[in-house]
Amino acid sequence: MRLVFLCTVAIIANSLISYSTIAETWVDESGRFRVEAEFFGYDLEGGKLVLKKNDGNLVRVPIEKLSNESKSEAKRLWLADMPEPVSSWDGTTISVGDNPTIEQTLAAITELSKTADPGGVWELMPASFRRDADEVASLFAKSVDDQTWNHAVEVIEKLHRLVGEKSEFIINSSFQTSSKEKPAIAEVLKSVTPLIREVLDSDLCDQDAMKSFDGNRFFQSQYPQIKRRVLEALRVYEETGTHSFRQADRKFFYTLISVEGDTATVKMSALQEDKEQTFRRIDDRWLPADLIDQWPDQTAKARTILESLQTPEGKQSIAKVRQFIAMASGMLDPLLNANTQAEFDQASSSLVAMVPMVMGAIKSK
């Protein structure tokens, strides 16, 4: 599935509309420069306030040249423009149907940029790209020997048992510095346990299923449940104050310039610059032309890497990975075998002490 996420990175580099819809009058420190525009964002790297004028164009103003009043307003709007927490997402995956227009595609990419939802990425992928992704996922499963695959799944099974069966020991562990954290940790463990189970029960942990991986089936029948569990866990993190996960805060928007047959030219306006980008239609989908051009090389490289795992040198590499997986599995056993809090804490201390040695062994390889 590495290629799916490569596609995510390439597609998501394009777009998030999130700005104030109220026009403001911005003034420089001399009082001579005035512009009526909406706050669009703040380019931290360039130190510029980015404004959107009524004609849709962006203007970038060095923040130090603004009047004190405009600086204060810019700071207020910037602080109010923080991305929404991931927990606020309802989990709906974008849908563009068959033969979407370039306008529908740009709107979908804009929406997708907020969440980086793999299901949305799959929805935007043309049929030929999906077949390539299926093939690479299948090749990965075929390139790993049964023993290594099963050991890896065994580690995930042990983690599932650990957070489920030993949750009280984890909550009351001597590593917890404050009793106030215990209720939050308990809620987090409750949300993580079914998530791990969902992954274990999916094709992702079934080597035979992965050898004939069908992305369409996975994203339609299994991914929604995994996503639901992930969002539940993220909401628990948010509600308990354990951690806050924010949606993507990249600020882009598209302006369609022209469409000629299967080629479209758009302007992508961002905080730092505006640039034209070409989209092309492939199968029944529109994608950035550079992504289409790079895709064959990327998939070829992935196939080459996976095929190399079946060579004698590749098998030696997998054998080393199997050793480390077995080591990780063995390190979990004392925790699972603990019958008292004292035994669990002792096993935890031993585990923590072993981590630097294991990391050193990995680096030496």
Residue 82's pLDDT is 72
List, for the chain, all residue ranges whose pLDDT scores fall below the cut of 50.
Answer: 1-21
Is 314 part of any domain? no
Residue indicated by tokens 């585990």: 351
pLDDT in the model for residue 243: 60
The last residue of a domain, from among 34, 57, 82: 82
Each residue's pLDDT tens digit, 198-252: 999 999 999 999 999 999 999 999 999 999 999 898 888 888 766 656 555 567 8
Residues 147 and 49 in one domain: no
Task: Give how far the C-alpha of residue 119 lies from the chain's centroid of Cα atoms, to the nearest Å.
Answer: 11
Task: Please check whether residues 77 and 111 belong to one and the same domain.
Answer: no
Beta strand 23-27 with 274-282 is unpaired
Contacts of 166 by beta carbon, 8 Å cutoff, 6+ apart:
335, 336, 338, 344
| Look-up of token digits 């939050």 | 184
Q: Dig out the tokens for 235 from the structure.
A: 């909401």
Residue 48 and residue 159 share a domain: no
Same domain, 178 and 208: yes
pTM of the model: 0.80
Cα-Cα-Cα-Cα dihedral of 64, 70, 72, 78, to 10°? -90
The CATH number that applies at residue 76 is 2.30.30.700
The whole-number pLDDT of residue 17 equals 34
Are 144 and 114 contacting, i.e. CB atoms less than 8 angstroms apart?
A: no
112 and 221 inside one domain:
yes
CA atoms within 13 A on the CB side of 108: 24
Domain termination site, one of 225, 248, 271: 248
- 114 and 208 within one domain: yes
Q: What is the pLDDT of residue 113?
A: 82
* Per-residue pLDDT tens over the stretch 36-65: 999 998 888 889 999 999 888 999 999 999
- Asked if 158 and 42 sit in the same domain, the reply is no
**How many CA atoms are closer than 13 Å to the CA of 271, on its beta-carbon side?**
20
Give the residue numbers spanning the domain of 243: 87-248
Give the separation between CA 238 and CA 216, rounded to whole angstroms.
Answer: 31
Q: Is 44 exposed, middle or buried (0-12, 13-18, 19+ CB in 10 A)?
A: exposed
- Please give the pLDDT value at position 358: 57
Separation of alpha carbons 142 and 272, rounded Å: 44
